[in-house]
Structure 1
Amino acid sequence: MFLIALSPILWLIIALSVLKIAAYKACPIALVIALTAGIFVNDMTIPHAVQATLEGVALACWPILLVIIAAIFTYNLTLQTKAMDTIKKMLTSVSNDRRVLILLIGWGFGGFLEGMAGFGTAVAIPAGMLAGIGVNPVLAAMVCLIANSVPTAYGSIGIPIVTLGNVTGIDPIQLATYTALQLIPLTVLCPFLMVIVASHSLKGLKGMVLMCLAAGVGFSATELAIAMFMGPELAVVGGSIVAMAAIIACAKLFPVNDSEHALPPHDDEAPITAGTAVRAWMPFILIFIFLLMTSKLIPAIHDPLNLIKTSVLIYDGPGGEPYTFTWLATPGVLILLAAFIGGTIQGAGFGSMVGCLRRTAWNLRFTIITIITVIATAKVMGYAGMTHEIAETAVAATGTMYPFIAAFIGSIGTFITGSATSSCVLFGKLQTDSAMAIGASESVQAWIAASNPLGACAGKMISPQNIAIAVAAIGTVGCEGKLLYFAVKIYIPFVIIMGCIVYFGQSLVG
């Protein structure tokens, strides 16, 4: 039963990394495998299998694909209005060293986008920007996959940890604090790892050690402080802003001048006025403002907007709940609104913006197929009991060593769904039940529960959905296998380190 439950995941791993099949071809086959296993082995009825698939399609379209299309449309619109030229010039004025810009855009700005919006924006926009300023597109995707790992636990204004609190009944502030503590070593490590990957060797760290340290420590210390005193909502947003400030400060106070990593000089050296700069950044400024204003931090706006929704019972089998379409207070709608307003300020006509949106959606057609079938596969596996079977087998096999694999369980959920929130929904209760089964105290139960969003950070790197987003952002269809092979090499040591942190750390909190 375990191998049958695992079969869709095994197929994706083999298809993407060994057979080099494009994701938009491999993922529909994974859905067929999941449906076959669910119906013929797990006694799922055909109507329930169809309903589970349709619920997956609904989730994929609203909000996930909406956010992805909106985010990439925002980027494409800044290209069309030439605003990206101004943004690139401003960023490259910090330094002409590609390593510095990879940290500033991939780590700092990417973390900010993950904290504000999530759902792929933190890979799509930074990877596209890095490719646009001259970084090798595949390399840009690689470093952004690394950068998007550790902020995932607090993505979309902390929704994974808020959800985990709802699922387990544990205080979200306690979960946010424990998750931040568990993430410290990897958060500090990530900037160093990004620079090493960007320069293809340890020699690339020459002159960059202080900046990497400041970027990692500034991020993790701020994240921990906000998590402890305010909760999960703004932990990554605050950490990323401090990280960007630290990178810029280091670049100005201790400039890096290495010709091996220098970007080509720009011909236009005319100064950028404040008005021009604000117009160029306007879509991103508006995204920040809209997401902040409609977040739970401002209930006067958040609560009324969240009442504008429609709930539909798509799957009526065991465990099925009405699926809710939130029409206005969802990141995709807000990003689209910010893009259209920002584009208008930048001088784009409504017709040209609609044309840009249409081209963006068409260019993402393979990504759309991939993400719809991945999410549908996840729903079928979940409702058929296949996902739970995978986790239960892991618990039975490990006993008191379970904390060592708790983060790995969390990573499986995100690998399947591409979402830390979905992973917490799938496995959050299982984590606390397993902790109780091995006799853990309440604080250790919270510690083990926090390992689920921790593991989700590793799973995000190898998620087919996230890799598909990265490929779409750099416009290089067919390199999914190469990116997965790279990400797995980072994922394995990450999961081992996470296992050690959770296992040995339980004695400190217990």
Structure 2
Amino acid sequence: MIFIALSPILWLIVALTVMHMSAWKACSIALLVAWAASLGVYGMTLIHATEATLEGAALACWPILLVIIAAIFTYNLSLHTKSMDTIKQMLTSVSSDKRVLILLIGWGFGSFLEGMAGFGTAVAIPAGMLAGLGISPLLAASVCLIANSVPTAYGSIGIPLVTLGSVTGVPSSQLALYTALQLAPLSLLCPFIMTIVTGKSLKALNGMISYCLAAGLGFLLPELVVAAFLGPELAVIAGSIGTMGAIVLCAKAFPQHDPAYAMNVLGDAPAVDARKGLLAWLPFILIFVFLLVTSKLVPVLHDPLNLIKTSVLIYDGAGGAPYTFTWVATPGVLIFLAAFLGGHMQGAGMGEMLSVLKTTIINLRFTIVTIITVIATAKVMGYAGMTFDIATTAVAATGTLYPTIAAFIGSIGTFITGSATSSCVLFGKLQTDSAVAIGASEAGQAWLAAANATGACAGKMISPQSIAIAVGAIGVKGCDSKLLSFAVKIYVPFIIIMGAIVYFGFAYLE
């Protein structure tokens, strides 16, 4: 029976890692496998299987795909208006030290891109920028893979955790805080690891301790505060702004002049004036402002906007509940508004912006199919009882030690799919079902659900999709195996640390 329950997941493992099948094809077939198992073995009716699939499609389209398309559109529009060139120029003017630039662009700006857009942009853009500055392409890709691990859970305006909350029923704000706490040690460690990797020795930390500590704390503290009071949408964006600010302040207060890491990155480019810089960042600033003023911190806007919604009962079987479409106070709508306003201020006409949007949707067509089918698969598995059977078996095998492998399971989901969102969809319910099976309290259930997102961060480093994006960004063919071998060396200690954090944190909560 457990083999049947696992069949969609086993198929994805084989299809994506052995057969190297496209994700959209593999996930589409996984949905058919889930249908076959639910109808043929689990006794699910055809109507209920259809309803479960439709509910999954609804969740995929609103709000998940809405956010993804809006976020990528904002980034593509910044490329179209050339504002991204201005942003790059501003970043590279901070320092000529290789280590500082890697922290600023790979860790700080990479986290910002992950928080705003996700889906590979946080590896591709910083890695390409660093390689373009003359840094070794393999080094550029390696440090960006490390940097992309921690913020992955909050990618694309917090959509992995928002989705995890939808799948598990745990408030996304609670998941955001627990995930930030679980990732806290790694948030502090990542800048140190990136610096050591840059110099291939602990000696690279000479003169950089203050930078690394500031970069870690500058990221962690804002992330924790925002996660605790606002939820997942702005947590990593706040962290990235905090860490970039901290690195810039360190560069001004403690400039580095070590000739071993000196680079000529400024050239003859003129300094960016304040107005031009503000205009370049404007769409991203507006996103931050719009999400902030419509959050719970501003109830005069938050409360009435959240009343503009429609609830529809899609799945009417056991465990089904009305699905709610929030039409205005949802991140995707606010991101689109910010993008169009920002693009207009940057001089783009409506026709140009709609053309960029059309191109964005066309380029994301396979991602759209992947997200819809993987979420539909998870819904069918959940309602049919397949996820519950997997959880029961996992708990039977590990007992009260289950929390030690919770993050590992989340990492497998991201390794398979390349997406923290997909990992949360596939295994989120499994985590809470497992928590219930070992008698966990509601807090314990939320902690293990968050562990799935935490593990997804580690899995992002070794995901074939992430490796492929990094290789494409640096333009060096045939280095996939080298990057994977490097990433595994970081992944293993990360996942061991995560296992210990989740276990002891769970024991404390219980």
Question: What band does the TM-score fall into relative to the shorter chain?
Answer: 0.7 to 0.9
SS class of match (1:404) = helix
Give the equivalent residue in structure 2 for 1:346: 346
The offset of 1:214, in angstroms, is 2.5
Q: How many angstroms apart in 2 are the aligned matches of 1:367 and 1:472?
A: 14
Q: How many angstroms apart in 2 are the aligned matches of 1:365 and 1:168?
A: 29
State which of 436, 442, 446 in structure 1 corresponds to 2:439.
436
Q: How many angstroms apart in 2 are the aligned matches of 1:159 and 1:23?
A: 18
Give the equivalent residue in structure 2 for 1:450: 447
Deviations 1:225-259 (A, max 9, x none): 6667x475665454433322222223333445678
Q: Tell me: CA distance 1:6–1:167, structure 2 relative to 1, closer, same or farther (3 Å).
A: closer
Amino acid at match of 1:380: V
Q: 2:363 aligned with 1:363, yes or no?
A: yes
Number of residue-to-residue matches in the alignment = 497
Deviations 1:106-161 (A, max 9, x none): 4334545666x6xxx24554345325535489987775564454345667579949
The correspondence of residues 84-95 of structure 1 with structure 2, limited to 5 A, is 84-95=84-95
The offset of 1:98, in angstroms, is 5.7
Give the equivalent residue in structure 1 for 2:50: 50
The offset of 1:311, in angstroms, is 2.2
The correspondence of residues 373-452 of structure 1 with structure 2, limited to 5 A, is 373-408=373-408, 418-419=420-421, 426-427=429-430, 429-430=432-433, 432-436=435-439, 446=443, 449-452=446-449
The offset of 1:47, in angstroms, is 2.1
Give the equivalent residue in structure 2 for 1:241: 241
Q: How many angstroms apart in 2 are the aligned matches of 1:326 and 1:139?
A: 43
Q: How many angstroms apart in 2 are the aligned matches of 1:458 and 1:244?
A: 25
Deviations 1:283-304 (A, max 9, x none): 1111111111111221211121
Give the equivalent residue in structure 1 for 2:186: 186
Q: How many angstroms apart in 2 are the aligned matches of 1:58 and 1:469?
A: 27
2:153 and 2:456 in contact (8 A); partners too: no
SS class of match (1:324) = strand
The correspondence of residues 330-345 of structure 1 with structure 2, limited to 5 A, is 330-345=330-345
Q: How many angstroms apart in 2 are the aligned matches of 1:349 and 1:169?
A: 42
1:145 and 1:461 in contact (8 A); partners too: no
Q: How many angstroms apart in 1 are the aligned matches of 2:163 and 2:484?
A: 29
Give the equivalent residue in structure 1 for 2:253: 253
Q: Which runs of 5+ in 1 are unaligned?
A: none
Give the equivalent residue in structure 2 for 1:133: 129
The offset of 1:53, in angstroms, is 1.9
Deviations 1:358-416 (A, max 9, x none): 11111222222222222222222222222222222111222232332344455567777
Q: How many angstroms apart in 2 are the aligned matches of 1:361 and 1:48?
A: 31
The correspondence of residues 76-87 of structure 1 with structure 2, limited to 5 A, is 76-87=76-87
Q: Tell me: CA distance 1:349–1:30, structure 2 relative to 1, closer, same or farther (3 Å).
A: same
**CA-atom RMSD in angstroms:** 4.2
Q: How many angstroms apart in 1 are the aligned matches of 2:76 and 2:489?
A: 31
Q: Tell me: CA distance 1:485–1:470, structure 2 relative to 1, closer, same or farther (3 Å).
A: closer
**Percent identity over the alignment?**
58
Q: Tell me: CA distance 1:125–1:390, structure 2 relative to 1, closer, same or farther (3 Å).
A: same
Q: How many angstroms apart in 2 are the aligned matches of 1:22 and 1:162?
A: 23
SS class of match (1:310) = strand
SS class of match (2:310) = strand
Give the equivalent residue in structure 2 for 1:503: 503
Give the equivalent residue in structure 2 for 1:34: 34
Q: Tell me: CA distance 1:293–1:188, structure 2 relative to 1, closer, same or farther (3 Å).
A: same
Q: Tell me: CA distance 1:123–1:139, structure 2 relative to 1, closer, same or farther (3 Å).
A: farther
2:114 and 2:122 in contact (8 A); partners too: no
TM-score (norm 2): 0.81
Q: Tell me: CA distance 1:159–1:73, structure 2 relative to 1, closer, same or farther (3 Å).
A: closer
Q: Which runs of 5+ in 2 are unaligned?
A: none
2:152 and 2:456 in contact (8 A); partners too: no
2:431 and 2:448 in contact (8 A); partners too: no
Amino acid at match of 1:319: G
